[in-house]
Structure 1
Amino acid sequence: MSVQEEVLEEVEIKEEVNQQNEIVVFNDEVNTFDHVIDMLIAACDHDPLQAEQCTMLIHYKGKCAVKTGDYDDLKPRCSQLLDAGISAEIH
């Protein structure tokens, strides 16, 4: 395998990794910390500590990527968050 082929293969692999989507949750003045934590546990399979840390980032930074994966996996999870009144988008 030539150096050029190796470089092209490496670029293709990195592009595939970057194809991942993510659910981003945005801060609002409506939902309580406990509600967001509970929903991250239910919808995104977070453990309680991870959900709490993401909720703090959402509060202080204004948003947080809470789940990464394939679009087909993220879509129902994002819908569950939206149905619970949480501002979320898939990016």
Structure 2
Amino acid sequence: MIETDVEFADEVVEKLVSEKNLIVFNDDVNTFDHVIDSLIKVCKHDSLQAEQCTHIIHFNGKCEVKRGEYSKLEPMCTALLDRGISAEIQ
């Protein structure tokens, strides 16, 4: 029983370490509507989630808009960058 618990704990730690965050940063260029539309199209947010993230970006300077494996986040990050939105994976 103890071995199973240790194995499970190792799997959880491994998953947490492999998860990354897609961060979007505030800028003085993009409009609220552009960022909202981009989060809906690129990150598959619903409109409320996209609006909330956009306000967090505006007031806090950045927001974690998506969490997951690097391979899933990389195309989203690239698409946001292509739209002129400052983003990175951390």
User: If the length of structure 2 is used for normalisation, what is the TM-score?
Assistant: 0.90
- Give the equivalent residue in structure 2 for 1:28: 27
Q: Which runs of 4+ in 1 moved over 2 A?
A: 5-11
- Give the equivalent residue in structure 2 for 1:12: 10
Query: CA-atom RMSD, angstroms?
Result: 1.3
Q: What does 1:36-55 correspond to in 2, within 5 Å?
A: 36-55=35-54
Runs of at least 5 residues in structure 1 that lack an aligned partner in the other structure: none
Counterpart of 1:17, as a letter, is K
The count of aligned residue pairs is: 89
Counterpart of 1:12, as a letter, is D
Runs of at least 5 residues in structure 2 that lack an aligned partner in the other structure: none
User: If the length of structure 1 is used for normalisation, what is the TM-score?
Assistant: 0.89
Displacement of 1:71 in angstroms is 1.2
Counterpart of 2:78, as a letter, is S
